[in-house]
Amino acid sequence: MVLSDKLFPHDISAEESVIGSLLLDGMSFTKIASFLEPGHFYLSPNKIIFEIARDLFNRQEPINQITIAHELETQEKLEEVGGRAYLAKVVDVVPTSIHIKHYANLVRRTATMRTLINAAENISDIGFDNDPDVETSLAKAEDIIYGIRSDQPSRDFVPLRETLTPFLETSSTDINDGENAPIGSGFKMLDELLGGLQRSDMLVLAARPSVGKSMFALNLAINAAMNEHKVAIYSLEMGREQIATRMLATQARINMHSLRMMRLSTSQENRLIDAIGKLSDLNIFIDDSPIQSVAEMRGKARRLQLEYGLDFIILDYMQLLSNNKGSRETNRAQEVSEISRQVKAMARDLRVPVLAISQLSRAIEHRQSHRPLLSDLRESGSIEQDADVVMFIHREEKFVTKEEWIKNNPGVPYPEGQAEIIVAKHRNGPTDTIPLAVDDSIGRFVSIDSVRNNQLSTQEN
């Protein structure tokens, strides 16, 4: 790409006006400190002066023509910026500092245009590299553009004090509200244990087939959306029509088979109409493309986040994802490990909790104890290491018949309709087991307390 015959966008007058305003009124720095950086300046002298002004501000020292000149002299940079004559010149450019924010926005705008030009060159280089993995190339290009849009270039080392400062400025109300708030699961005991589904966390939900992984995930999706969160579901196994049917059965409390056959009573039809209305108002977005890579998903999620907002992502399920590497040298465990790392990176990049559903091996079925263990995930690459939270769904009734149970556990009620959410790993908190009741016919998990309260209410009536 030939750019030598064109000047990069810049606004020298705006740059000088920013510097002049700072020299006239050092406290005006507070109006622009949050969005203007030394790198936004086109001319090196202005960049150097602004950087020194920022250092003085951080040291709580006055910013004016004298202190800036002294600091430049101390650092042997006074002549490099044009001497005291240049400082006097920029002071004469503006009569007052009242419009410093406007000048700073002009400087930032032209800096963004220069960044865009550099990005175009970098994207061009990606194309010339001719990587056989098209999706990886597209993801790299998207990363570059997204970095400009979100104003989050690749980060270097950050002093701990900069990370700690927001804790002093943020109240408990701020933490529990708005874009920083965790996502409620809709299950009280689980939320108390995890503190909700935390932003940037990768959560793994694992179990054997037909235990209820997708069912539980859809319950979480509905519960989150009911609380006005925006939810994205990537379903590589079920089509969107099947997901919609399951959600309707759950919301309307109608047997799934009856719903599919449309053999409904008048009261069920009324509940169905009501459920359609409620679910239609929810911000749940479904992508049922059967073959996808994490790079594709991340690109789609970014676009969704920019257009509508995004609070929670569900992937169903991880072992069906492709990493698009196309290498015969990597085995499936290595491939899943790479996918797991990419899912974790997506959660951090988008700052939303990502619930990744995972299949467990058959080894559980051949053990005396059918309760899943973290070791059951170790065959699936680095999922266990990457995850912030690992949850298993355990339902003994899925492994032991009623006859076998009565024979081996005399006097103990058969655990029909009972489930346990086993939080086997919690990077930032305790682990525990959450008992739930489950109704497969309508695809619904409920807390034990809710079941007991309903039973008591029924008895009283």
Mark whether 237 is an active-site residue: yes
State the Cα–Cα distance between residues 185 and 194, nearest whole angstrom. Answer: 10
User: Among candidates 36, 163, 169, 31, which has minimal Cα distance to 100?
Assistant: 31
Structure token digits, residue 248: 């309707």
185 burial via Cβ count (<10 Å: 0-12, 13-18, 19+): buried
- Residue of 37, 51, 142, 237 marked catalytic: 237
Kind of pairing between the strands at 354-359 and 312-316: parallel
- Answer whether 187's CB lies under 8 Å from 415's CB: no
State the Cα–Cα distance between residues 171 and 181, nearest whole angstrom. Answer: 12
State the Cα–Cα distance between residues 436 and 216, nearest whole angstrom. Answer: 11
Kind of pairing between the strands at 389-394 and 418-426: antiparallel
State the Cα–Cα distance between residues 150 and 156, nearest whole angstrom. Answer: 17
Report the sign of the C-alpha dihedral through residues 193, 198, 203, 209, in that order.
Answer: positive
Return the bridge partners of 438, or none. Answer: 445
State the Cα–Cα distance between residues 188 and 447, nearest whole angstrom. Answer: 8
- Answer whether 381's CB lies under 8 Å from 334's CB: yes
209-413-252 Cα angle (round to 5): 55
Whether the upstream peptide bond of residue 317 has omega within 30° of 0, thus cis, is: yes
Structure token digits, residue 389: 């939270």
State the Cα–Cα distance between residues 379 and 229, nearest whole angstrom. Answer: 34
Q: How far apart are the first and last CA of the chain?
A: 79
Structure token digits, residue 122: 């970098």
- Residue 257: DSSP 8-state: H
Which residues are marked as active site?
Answer: 237
